């Protein structure tokens, strides 16, 4: 009888471990257009956006600045870049939706900004690459903006903060935004 009970307990533990969420795994967060990533189902105190650019001499990513924000429940933190002649401005947003009488209204409040120079830039950002964000405390790629005066964009798949990037100088600069969930 003791042997069957022991076997039953072991079987139950194995089943529980198989079907319960693992503390080591992370899950992908959902991105909502015009709002940002949904943080409502995860535990966090603040979100950190880091802004890097490609150093044109070493072709490595150099940190320009960081933004700290703590969106309240139901709000979304996002970041956008705006270009003008020889300049780029990074803007952190607090976004939310209000619903009244079956009408949804989207609101955006600019929280903070950082402006920097890119000599020779004509002012139009033609696109960007967005990366998937997971529920993890590690620094993750959020968005990559190749800065160019061409009508298209070009970026390499071999993106790294620690190794040379864009060595052929395809772009005037590359703005990489990373995100850390703390």
Residue 87: phi and psi, rounded to 5, are -140, 150
How does residue 19 score in pLDDT terms, banded at 50, 70 and 90?
very low
Instruction: Give the length of the chain.
Output: 182
Residue 58 burial (CB < 10 Å; 0-12/13-18/19+)? exposed
Q: 173-181 and 140-147 as β-strands: parallel, antiparallel, unpaired?
A: antiparallel
Closest CA to 64 of 135, 99, 113: 113
| Strand blocks (E) in 101-139 | 103-117, 129-130
pLDDT digits (tens, 9 = 90+) for 93-128: 999 999 999 999 999 999 999 999 999 999 999 999
- pTM higher than 0.75 for the full model? yes
Q: Which residues, in sequence order, are CB contacts of 72 under 8 Å at separation 6+?
A: none
User: pLDDT by residue (tens digit) across 39-94?
Assistant: 888 889 999 999 999 887 788 899 999 999 999 989 999 999 999 999 999 999 99
């Amino acid at each position: 009888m003791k042997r069957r009970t022991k076997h039953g307990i072991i079987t139950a533990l194995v089943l529980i471990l198989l079907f319960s969420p693992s503390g080591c795994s992370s899950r992908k967060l959902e991105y909502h257009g015009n709002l940002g990533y949904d943080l409502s189902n995860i535990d966090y105190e603040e979100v950190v956006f880091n802004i890097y650019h490609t150093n044109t001499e070493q072709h490595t990513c150099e940190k320009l600045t960081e933004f700290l924000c703590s969106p309240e429940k139901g709000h979304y933190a996002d970041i956008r870049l705006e270009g003008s002649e020889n300049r780029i401005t990074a803007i952190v947003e607090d976004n939310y939706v209000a619903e009244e009488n079956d009408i949804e209204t989207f609101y955006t409040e600019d929280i903070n900004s950082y402006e920097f120079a890119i000599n020779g830039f004509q002012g139009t950002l033609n696109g960007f690459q967005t990366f998937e964000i997971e529920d993890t405390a590690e620094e993750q790629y959020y968005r990559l903006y190749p800065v160019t005066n061409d009508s298209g964009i070009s970026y390499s798949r071999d993106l790294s903060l620690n190794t040379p990037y864009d060595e052929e100088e395809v772009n005037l600069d590359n703005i990489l935004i990373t995100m850390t969930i703390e």
